[in-house]
Amino acid sequence: LSEKNEPEWLSEEVKTGTTILAIEFDGGVVLGSDSRVSAGASVVNRVMNKLSQLHDKIYCALSGSAADAQTIAEVVNYQLDVHSMEIGEDPQVRSAATLVRNISYKYKEELSAHLIVAGWDRRKGGQVYATLNGLLTRQPFAVGGSGSSYVYGFVDAEYRKGMSKEECQKFVVSTLSLAMNRDGSSGGVAYLVTIDEHCTEEKVILGNDLPTFYDQ
């Protein structure tokens, strides 16, 4: 079972070349992701849910190296559990984002993953934080992953302040669909998570149910 001269993708790191995005609306957030995990040119998992739960009302979207992203999410999940027990109430989204940012910044040379943290808490409602390369910034919406490059134009043009929950979900699904059609490293199904004060809803949209655009 030697490793020399084996096909490249066996020793290639497994990456979630991906499209992820999160958008905030009045009273909550909507997160979306595709489901493709690739190792080189081979797809190793076509149904991976990249929206990982950090706490009851805080989720994060994974992109970059699968191992790094999964590990960061699991470590922060643990740290948040301890933190919420210490303070005796549900943690703030900013706390979760800070924990992710601390790991991303401290190990920025060793890790290669970008997590978008989004959720709802009592004090500030729905919030989306980007933690790319160890920064921490709150944004009305954030996109990430290899597929995001193809949809910057779309999101910049189509985003409007004060969208409702349904409009946000439609926005996320359309963005994902466009990115998945253009980016080779994104594909599969679309996962959607809607978090607001009352509930946390997880939804899967299969490939053939995604909105179609010109030339499809």
Interaction site with other proteins (CB under 8 A): 1-7, 10-11, 13-14, 37, 39, 42, 44-45, 47-48, 65-71, 110
Per the annotation, the verdict on 18 as an active-site residue is: yes
**35 or 169: whose CB is closer to other proteins?**
35
Helix (H, G, I), strand (E, B) or coil at 127: strand
Task: Measure the CA–CA gap between 178 and 175, rounded to whole angstroms.
Answer: 5
- Residue written as tokens 């979900």? 169
Tell me which of 16, 18, 19, 175 is the catalytic residue: 18
Helix (H) or strand (E) holding 40: none
Q: Report the 10 Å Cβ neighbour count for 15.
A: 24
**Nearest distance in Å: CB 4, other proteins:** 6
Comparing CB distances to other proteins, the nearer of 126 and 145 is 145
Query: What is the closest distance, in whole angstroms, from the C-beta atom of residue 14 to other proteins in the complex?
Result: 5
Asked if residue 53 lies in contact with residue 59, where contact means CB atoms within 8 angstroms, the answer is yes
Q: Please say which residue, 9 or 159, places its beta carbon nearer to other proteins.
A: 9
145 touches 63 (CB < 8 A) = yes
Smallest distance, Å, CB 156 to other proteins?
22
Active-site annotation, residues: 18
